[in-house]
Amino acid sequence: MALKNIVKEMRDGIGNISRRGSERRCSENGKHNMRRRGRSYIAPEGSSSSSKIIVEQSQWANMPPELLLDIIQRIEASQTSWPARRDVVACASVCKSWRAVTKEIIRTPEQCGLLSFPVSLKQPGPRDAPIQCYIRRERPTGAYRLYLGLSPGDMSKLLLAARKIRKATSTDFLISLVGDDFSRTSNTYVGKLRSNFLGTKFTIYDSQPPCDTAIHSNSRSQRKIFPKQVSLKGSSSNYSVATISYELNVLRTRGPRRMQCTMHSIPISAIQEGGTAPTPIEFTNCCEEQIPSSPSPVSKGKKPLVEFSSTSLSGPLESFGSAGDPLILKNKAPRWHEQLQCWCLNFKGRVTVASVKNFQLVAAAEPNQNVSVAEQERVILQFGKIGKDIFTMDYRYPLSALQAFAICLSSFDTKPACE
């Protein structure tokens, strides 16, 4: 049987299993999320939906390991773009043995420059060339969708979606893997962005703790659990991984916004020679992580208390020493164009409409941090407008797609004090 026919048969089989499971759940619970996700969706590790699909073994489960390895290697090498790359996802959905082999073959975005599974969105981007994406803003619903592709005309793949929720003293952007479910109890919830009252300071939260042990312990210290707190099952945890600050424009001078991003989960050593950035290997769901075996009683008339500190990660991480200072990004200073009478940056054709939201971020390093000049001039993230409610987003190492998307979302919030 030809390789193409094998892939088609596997994908059709997984699609049929997914549809049967969706119809059964819809008839019992009235939920339609799984039906809308399609065949290219693969649930994160540990989710109940993925386990139900994988439990149903297929005729390919007992294939010889050598042949299985050869098949998946050929599929991975031939399908390098979406939507064709859904064949790789289909291989991981056949059964547990196929999933294990696929995970061994698929490399991280830093190594291959490709996005395959949900965990890829939390892994650093490639070092050589940026991953090019675009963001579509939907004003009526307050939704923002991140797609993989050069422009809206391409065959695009939805990577992440966010919904803006205004509160009395802050604004939240809830980030999800899908565009129709932003519940924090869902296994598609990946994090959020929260602003202060003025919209000048933002905190990026991840749904799972940083993969580095030292950063993990530091992140845990910001969530103070009081003796009478009860952790409710199904509530998702949030771990602060970065903060974004916009400089106040008190004098109302002309010019672009000035911003600074402190990436608490990425040490400055990541951009030093031979350095590496923390890279998670699994997409975990932390909904049940904080559930105690014997919860303490709650005093009558009092609610459980949880304190979140946005400043507990403001200093350097002690476990890393001097090389563990957090990576700080600043917007690249534009130059004033006399003929055009505007501030200009070289976006290399990726931005075509002038906007106060446009920016490029580069590393801000001190002389004693041993970061080369070339590395300091390298654009790590750029964001800009190309049309009505359409923006491009290009990111690279050491940022992940989630971190880059959250930083770009901060640019959409209203900032009257910064303009």
E-strand stretches of 207-324:
223-225, 239-246, 259-267, 306-308
* Domains in the chain: boundaries: 60-106, 109-210+237-275+324-418
Give the model's pLDDT for residue 6. Answer: 61
Give the model's pLDDT for residue 257. Answer: 79
Sign of the CA dihedral 274, 100, 54, 94? positive
Sign of the CA dihedral 131, 256, 200, 136? negative
Give the model's pLDDT for residue 378. Answer: 94
Give the model's pLDDT for residue 34. Answer: 42
Inter-residue long-range contacts of 5-9, CB under 8 Å, 24+ positions, other chains counted: 6/71, 7/75, 7/87, 7/90, 7/91
| Angstrom distance (rounded) from CA 129 to CA 147 | 18
What is the CATH code for 109-210+237-275+324-418? 3.20.90.10
Give the bridge partners for 259, in sequence order: 246
| Angstrom distance (rounded) from CA 356 to CA 391 | 12
> Is residue 190 a contact partner of residue 121, using CB atoms and an 8 Å limit?
yes
Over the chain (419 residues), what is each successive 10-residue block's mean pLDDT? 59 53 48 44 48 53 86 88 85 86 91 91 94 94 91 77 92 94 91 91 92 46 38 61 86 71 95 92 60 39 36 36 76 81 83 89 91 93 94 96 96 67
User: Is the preceding omega at residue 398 within 30 degrees of 0, hence cis?
Assistant: yes
Q: What 3-state DSSP class applies to 266?
A: strand
Give the model's pLDDT for residue 44. Answer: 52
φ, ψ of residue 61 to 5 degrees: the values are -65, -30
E-strand stretches of 197-341:
201-206, 223-225, 239-246, 259-267, 306-308, 326-331, 335-337
Q: And the tokens for 315?
A: 């200093």
